[in-house]
Chain A
Amino acid sequence: MRGNLAKAFELTNTQVFRRAALPKSYTDLWGRKLFLLLLTIQGLGAFALITLGVMLKKNRLARNVMGPRIRQEITRSGVALLPMFLFIAAALGFLVIGQTVSALARVGATDYLGSTMVIVVVRELGPLLTAMLVLARVGTAHVIELGTARALGEVEALEALGIDPVHYLIVPRVWGTMVGIFSLTVYSIIGALASGYLWAFLQDVPLTPGEYFKQLAEALSWLDFALLALKTLGFGFFIAIVTCYHGLAQPLRLEEVSRVAVRAVSQSVIACILLDALFILLYLVT
């Protein structure tokens, strides 16, 4: 319990660097930045492993408490964001897909429509855009809520009651963000593909719905579905870990919470882009 958080914090006591005197040279500055980066990676890795361990070890513990908390987080990261995502999907369809369809039609390349849609929407834009929006709406809230709870001593209160803060506070957020991003990505992709065709139809592009969906179906393979699931779950896991780590793992004062929230968002974006790059490599290899 306390050990879980203490381990992650002890490994990454970046405050030593952050509160140190100004660097005397560029070498000193870059050296510090490198150390900070390494410590942050180490801390995030440790926190991720600890969280995974707790998720596996305590998956049957206190179900009457944890079940509603996980459902609540799924609602917050998924269901509650659905109206916004339907709008985003429609806008994405109109702005990107509709234009792509009409441009391909002008040059007589509608045969490439399916593969273009799959690459643009299913593999890249859908998951990444969803992850960024969930990060903005829910990830920042994680940092602020947990940072405030930490600053107000609620985490110590949980520990005093024998309740593991990682289990009670982090695990529901990890499940919520993972399931939320996965579900919203699926809805976004379906919505964007449908609204994109609608836009193309309004522009009198010579493409029947049957041909459009046949091309999409031919361009999609089982690997797309598998990697889409893995990628979105991965985005959710990383966003939850990075935001919760910054909110909880380090003791904060109230005035530090907003600064930490900005740092957590930047690191989450980088983590998602790196993960995305990894999946692009996987696509290229397979």
Chain B
Amino acid sequence: MSETPNPAAIEMRGVSIGAMRDVSFIVVEDANWTVASGEFWVIAGQQHSGKSDFLMLTAGLMTPVEGSCRIFGRDTRTFGEVELAERLRVGLVFEGGQLFNHLTLRENVALPLQYHRNLSPDTAAAEVQPLLELMELAPLADITPANVSGNWLQRAALARALILKPELLLLDNPLGRLDARHQQWWLRFLDRLWRGHDWLGSRPLTLVATTDDLRPWQNAQLKFGLLHDKKFSPRGSWDNMEASNDPVVKELQAVPIGETM
């Protein structure tokens, strides 16, 4: 397998993506994209534009119909048994959390640690406690997901994705179901992760988030991409997005219709 000395965090070449439920239905065609380590990308697209499928493919949960997708230089087709260590460099936060309903929040967060390091429940619980406290989840730790609001479920899903200290974090519409207070907490926390959080040993994290609402993501330092009409196009900085006359971009910025004309 070919490896470059400092491979890009994500590298897509000519990638076509089928829908998760029906791979024969193509949602993205011929995507080319490179994400360098330490970058923070926001992928915008309307609902049902294929954002989740795009992210699932990036996470190695799907294989491209055409083309190749490499994460840290490794083809995602080989993710799994052969390259489990590579898979664990990538964290994924699903829209809505997708926590395991038979486990408490603490057990959900501890599961990857317990499974991959064969830790006893007590040892794993002690290891996740600092992260739960950091994310203000400690008071809810012994409750099952069915009894927790969506805001906290999403935060628990973030904790579960961070427990193995990934180098690349993928977030599927992380702000979509949150109230304003939680949105602010997330934006601050993601910014700290990106710049290097103590939890990750001050190592900057590479982040990719999808969204159908660009308003909370106004930040000159972020990079943006657009998914529309089966095409993925990297758009660069927020300034480029703001200057764009593309009606889809305007719609994602929730600009009143009269102003897009």
Is residue A162 contacting chain B, with contact meaning CB distance below 8 A?
Answer: yes
Question: Which of B21, B100, B164 is within 8 Å of A251, CB to CB?
Answer: B21
CB-CB under 8 A for A62 and B99, given A153-B94, A160-B92 = no
Is residue A210 contacting chain B, with contact meaning CB distance below 8 A?
Answer: no
Contact of A62 with B98 in the complex, beta carbons under 8 Å: no
Question: Which of B80, B98, B99, B112 is within 8 Å of A1, CB to CB?
Answer: B80
Most buried by A among B91, B96, B100: B100
How far is the CB of B54 from the nearest CB of chain A, in Å?
Answer: 14
Interface residue tally on A, bucketed by range: 20 to 34
Q: Which residues of B contact A153 (CB under 8 A)?
A: 94, 96, 98
CB-CB under 8 A for A160 and B115, given A2-B80, A154-B98, A154-B101 = no
Is residue B28 contacting chain A, with contact meaning CB distance below 8 A?
Answer: no
User: Can you name the residue of chain B whose Cβ is closest to the Cβ of A63?
Assistant: B118
Q: Which residues of A contact B115 (CB under 8 A)?
A: 62, 65, 161-163, 168
Interface residue tally on B, bucketed by range: 20 to 34
Among residues 149 to 183 in chain B, which have CB atoms less than 8 Å away from a CB atom of chain A? 160-161, 164
Contact digits for B41-64, partner A, Cβ 8 Å, 1 yes 0 no:
000000000000000100111100
Contact of B100 with A156 in the complex, beta carbons under 8 Å: no
Contact of B112 with A163 in the complex, beta carbons under 8 Å: yes
Among residues 152 to 167 in chain A, which have CB atoms less than 8 Å away from a CB atom of chain B? 152-154, 156-164
User: Can you name the residue of chain B whose Cβ is closest to the Cβ of A167?
Assistant: B115
Is residue A108 contacting chain B, with contact meaning CB distance below 8 A?
Answer: no
Q: Which residues of A contact B91 (CB under 8 A)?
A: 160
User: Can you name the residue of chain A whose Cβ is closest to the Cβ of B170?
Assistant: A160
Among residues 81 to 120 in chain B, which have CB atoms less than 8 Å away from a CB atom of chain A? 81, 84, 87-88, 90-92, 94, 96, 98-101, 111-112, 114-116, 118-120
Q: In the docked arrangement, what's the CA distance between A64 and B116, Å?
A: 10
CB-CB under 8 A for A163 and B56, given A1-B80, A3-B80, A64-B119 = no
User: Can you name the residue of chain B whose Cβ is closest to the Cβ of A62?
Assistant: B115
CB-CB under 8 A for A162 and B119, given A154-B101, A156-B98, A157-B98 = no
Contact digits for A51-70, partner B, Cβ 8 Å, 1 yes 0 no:
00000000001111100000
Most buried by A among B92, B98, B99, B114: B98
Contact digits for B112-132, partner A, Cβ 8 Å, 1 yes 0 no:
101110111100000000000
Question: Which of A1, A3, A64, A159 is within 8 Å of B114, CB to CB?
Answer: A64
User: Can you name the residue of chain A whose Cβ is closest to the Cβ of B80?
Assistant: A1
How far is the CB of A154 from the nearest CB of chain B, in Å?
Answer: 6
Q: Which residues of B contact A63 (CB under 8 A)?
A: 118
Contact of B94 with A157 in the complex, beta carbons under 8 Å: yes
Contact of B160 with A1 in the complex, beta carbons under 8 Å: no
User: Can you name the residue of chain B whose Cβ is closest to the Cβ of A157?
Assistant: B98
Contact of A162 with B114 in the complex, beta carbons under 8 Å: no
Contact of A161 with B160 in the complex, beta carbons under 8 Å: yes
Contact of A162 with B112 in the complex, beta carbons under 8 Å: yes
User: Can you name the residue of chain B whose Cβ is closest to the Cβ of A160?
Assistant: B92
Q: In the docked arrangement, what's the CA distance between A242 and B247, Å?
A: 51
User: Can you name the residue of chain B whose Cβ is closest to the Cβ of A66?
Assistant: B115
Question: Which of B56, B112, B114, B118 is within 8 Å of A156, CB to CB?
Answer: B56
Q: Which residues of A contact B60 (CB under 8 A)?
A: 2
Q: Which residues of B contact A160 (CB under 8 A)?
A: 59, 61, 90-92, 94, 161
How far is the CB of A59 from the nearest CB of chain B, in Å?
Answer: 13
Contact of B111 with A163 in the complex, beta carbons under 8 Å: yes
User: Can you name the residue of chain B whose Cβ is closest to the Cβ of A251?
Assistant: B21
Q: Which residues of A contact B99 (CB under 8 A)?
A: 154, 157
Q: In the docked arrangement, what's the CA distance between A153 and B20, Å?
A: 11
User: Can you name the residue of chain B whose Cβ is closest to the Cβ of A164?
Assistant: B81
Q: In the docked arrangement, what's the CA distance between A168 and B114, Å?
A: 12
Q: In the docked arrangement, what's the CA distance between A160 and B164, Å?
A: 12
How far is the CB of B82 from the nearest CB of chain A, in Å?
Answer: 10
Contact digits for A1-31, partner B, Cβ 8 Å, 1 yes 0 no:
1110000000000000000000000000000
Q: Which residues of A contact B98 (CB under 8 A)?
A: 152-154, 156-157
How far is the CB of A171 from the nearest CB of chain B, in Å?
Answer: 13
Beyond the given pairs A154-B101, A158-B100, 18 more chain A to chain B contacts, judged by CB atoms under 8 angstroms and listed by A's residue number, are A2-B61, A3-B81, A64-B119, A65-B111, A65-B115, A154-B99, A154-B100, A156-B56, A157-B94, A160-B90, A161-B112, A161-B115, A161-B160, A162-B84, A162-B87, A162-B115, A164-B81, A168-B115
**Which B residues are closer than 8 A to A by beta carbons?**
20-21, 56, 59-62, 79-81, 84, 87-88, 90-92, 94, 96, 98-101, 111-112, 114-116, 118-121, 160-161, 164
* A-B residue pairs in contact (CB < 8 Å), sample of 23: A1-B80, A2-B60, A3-B80, A3-B81, A62-B115, A62-B116, A64-B119, A64-B120, A65-B111, A153-B96, A153-B98, A154-B98, A154-B100, A156-B94, A157-B94, A157-B99, A160-B59, A160-B61, A160-B90, A160-B161, A161-B115, A162-B87, A162-B112
Query: Which 3 A-B pairs give the minimum distances between C-beta atoms?
Result: A160-B92, A153-B98, A157-B98
**Which A residues are closer than 8 A to B by beta carbons?**
1-3, 61-65, 149, 152-154, 156-164, 168, 251
